[in-house]
Structure 1
Amino acid sequence: MDLKETEVLGDAINDHWYYSSKVKAVEKFLGKSPVNTILDVGAGSGFFSKYLLKNTSAKEAWCVDISYPSESDETYLDKPLYLRKAIQPIHAELVMLMDVLEHVEDDIGLLSEYVEKVPTGATFLITVPAFQFLWSGHDDFLEHKRRYTLQQLESVVEACGLQLKKGAYFFGGVFPIAAALRLADRGQSKAKTPKSQLAQHGRFTNALLKGICNLEIPMMNFNRIAGLSVFCVAQKP
């Protein structure tokens, strides 16, 4: 999770329709496989790791992000939470790259680096923003290099030697709304300063968007058509 978005949403992030829906989708997409140690690459605030520490059997999380001003050992709900700028090989059952690969030129190289750091059998959960035609000032603000189709992300995963388990799009329910807004904004945004499109909505709008996304979660495994995010689960053979 990008620290820039944490700064935009502040304390409201836990109830924001986008992130509250996304963490529930993460839990659904991962299933019930037991996890002791999480390695969260490009973790930012550790939002996703903290959710899993609270809501699953996970016992500890290692959050890695080059943006951290310093390294520290913390606790979250009495569970260890380690913040690191880099990490050596680690015995982690779950590796998360939540909207990370789109930030680097060599996405295969970055993913391969972490494939080498974890043991055989480790599960990888990867998300990226979907569809290049949805590019907007939001991507410029977050310094993205690209957006992906589901097939493109699956190709990256397989190129790193991972065994693909499943892939899907999420935020399909709000996809038409977001696509229309982004395409309409594109013609007016060339002279604008890039900025995040995440905002603190009113209670009704936030609840409506959250409700649309929550209805989608039970069916997300089957969505290989469209959405704002691409989800992929893979395993190191």
Structure 2
Amino acid sequence: MKAEFRDDQYQLSYPDGVENHWWHLARNRLLTQQIRQLSKQQASVLDVGCGRGVTVKYLRNQAIDCIGVEPAEAKPFKDIEQYIFTGKKAEDLSKAERDRYSLLLLLDVVEHIANPDIFLKDLIALFPNVTHVIVTVPACPELWSNYDEFYGHYRRYTLNMIEDLSHQLNWHLMWNFYFFQLPYLPARLIIKLGQKRTVEMQAPIGISKKIHQFISYAVTMGNYSRFLGLPGTSISACFSLHKN
């Protein structure tokens, strides 16, 4: 895995209040639906590479038992410090802690890894009770930009690439689809025009919070166009593990 985010990358990606950005709101809403779809009982969830805890905070507010682990010395968001292990990798967690999880989240993590099959096999070996892994990744190689280069991405994924990864891992692929269809065309236009993407995530303040909330619902509704086979800027995949 590439080196952890630099301080400037954290400041640009995770400013205070970024949890109110439409991108995080829409992705977290999708994740909540997926987690509840997987199990009738409450799962114990570990968010691997959780950053400052945007998703941990959201899921806990949805009464989902989610803990985060982050290898960098990130500063967790207020009120969730006790639910975030910072300055630790997953293998640094105690065996008792690792044993309690049944679901792992790797949210926009895998694209930072040169050999994801090796990384994921080694990771799962540490968690004997995990039955499912949910992964999100940036999608569509044609959207490659300065943003990917700045944040140290190895690749942007396609659905076929995720299918190939499932075969390499010998994991059952439960779902695999594009989401964030609405932002795809603007992102494609930026690339076509030779413009650069902003690498800074702006946290909404004041009335813009309401605007971002509205956009997040519009983007969420747009996700249903995946049934038409339309591309999106991200992919969501869920793997089921068959363990002896």
State the TM-score, normalizing by the size of structure 1.
0.80
Is 2:225 aligned against 1:216? no
Distance 1:38 1:220, change over 3 A: farther
CA contact (8 A) 1:138 1:197 kept: no
SS of 1:117 mapped into structure 2: coil
Deviation at 1:166, TM superposition (A): 0.8
1:6/1:228 Cα in 2 relative to 1: closer, same or farther (>3 Å)? farther
Q: Deviations over 1:140-196 (max 9, x none)?
A: 111111100012122213311221111111101221122112332xx355xxxx851
Query: For 2:231 and 2:30, how far apart are their aligned partners in 1?
Result: 15
**Partner residue of 1:146?**
155
Supply the distance in 2 between the matched residues of 1:125 and 1:49 (Cα, whole angstroms). 14
Task: Please give the alpha-carbon distance, in whole angstroms, between the structure 2 residues aligned to 1:5 and 1:81.
Answer: 16
**Cα distance in structure 1, aligned partners of 2:211 and 2:166:** 36
1:17-56 matched pairs, under 5 angstroms: 17-32=22-37, 33=39, 34-56=41-63
Alignment-derived partner of residue 199 in structure 2: 196
Determine the C-alpha separation between the residues in 2 that align with 1:174 and 1:161. Answer: 32
Residue deviations 1:36-94 (CA, integer Å, cap 9, x gap): 42222121112212222221332x51x33322279x9x9739x7443352234522111
2:88 — aligned with what? Answer: 85
CA RMSD in angstroms comes to 3.2
Which residue does 1:103 correspond to in 2?
Answer: 112
What TM-score do the two structures reach when normalised by structure 2?
0.78
Q: Structure 2, unaligned stretches of length 5 or more?
A: none
Cα distance change, pair 182–233 in 1 and its aligned pair in 2 (3 A): same
1:172 maps to 181
* Matched-pair identity in %: 22
Which of 71, 74, 80 is the aligned partner of 1:76?
80
CA distance in 2, matches of 1:25, 1:220: 14
Aligned 8 A contact 2:74 2:87 in 1: no
Q: Return the alpha-carbon distance in structure 2 between the equivalents of residues 141 and 23 of structure 1.
A: 24
**Offset at 1:27?**
1.3
Amino acid at match of 1:66: P
Contact 1:30 1:233 in 2 (8 A): no
Alignment size in residue pairs: 225
Q: For residue 38 of structure 1, what is the amino acid of its counterpart?
A: V
Q: 2:233 aligns with which of 224, 228, 231?
A: 228
Partner of 2:137: 128
| Change in CA separation of 1:224 and 1:126 when aligned onto 2, cut-off 3 Å | farther
**Structure 1 residue 227: deviation in Å?**
0.3
Bigger shift: 150-159 or 196-205?
Answer: 196-205
Q: Which moved more, 1:168-177 or 1:203-212?
A: 203-212
Which segments of 5 or more consecutive residues in structure 1 lack a partner in the other structure?
none
